[in-house]
Amino acid sequence: MLSKPIQDALNEQIKHEINSAYLYLAMSAYCESITMPGCARWLKVQWQEELEHSMKLFAYVYDRGGRVTLQAIERPQADFSSIKEVFTQVLAHEQKVTALINSLFAVAVKENDYATQIEVQWFIKEQVEEEKHATEILDTLKIAGESGPSLIMLDRHLGSRGK
């Protein structure tokens, strides 16, 4: 059985995962609107992953005899100044999620909930990958620039994700 602090923290994290999905879908829509279909596809795959993360936590709560209580999510930003701004915000958002996951782990440690600590370790490892991918895209954008053939090649490369 989950303690109340663990259940509350898990419900909060479910909200953040769904909010992340919504943000990435809004970013994808922006990329579609500026004819960057590869970036849009990459962000749609990210959207799907975030929903999977929320459902992983959802199932975990019920596996432990808890109850999920869905919370309101924020309306995501819809407009951006450039692809670079989109991926700068992706990295910043993933860093925020990393801090949230770390806080969830800290609650599990405080509550001596070893099963939740193990479950959250998966998310900790996942966040390392998420930040790495966003950083790599930003590093490539620094080299490629924000217009021209290099950006088109990056867009095509990002569009191959999940195929």
45-99 pLDDT tens trace: 999 999 999 999 999 999 999 999 999 999 999 999 999 999 999 999 999 999 9
156: which DSSP letter?
A: H
pLDDT category, 148, cuts 50, 70, 90?
confident
Domain ranges (residues) in the chain: 4-159
What is the pTM assigned to this prediction?
0.94
Residue listed under structure tokens 């450039």:
82
Q: Alpha-carbon distance 37 to 30, whole Å? A: 10
Over 80: is that where the pLDDT of 162 sits?
A: no
Tokens of 83: 């692809």
Residue 15, pLDDT score: 98
User: At CA 151, angle to CA 140 and CA 157, rounded to 5?
Assistant: 70
Residue 46, pLDDT score: 97
User: At CA 119, angle to CA 115 and CA 125, rounded to 5?
Assistant: 140
Q: Alpha-carbon distance 17 to 123, whole Å? A: 11
Residue listed under structure tokens 């962000």:
43
Residue 163, pLDDT score: 65
Contact 66, 7 (CB under 8 A): yes
Residue 118, pLDDT score: 98
Contact 156, 163 (CB under 8 A): no
What value does the mean pLDDT of the chain take? 96
Domain at 4-159: CATH code: 1.20.1260.10
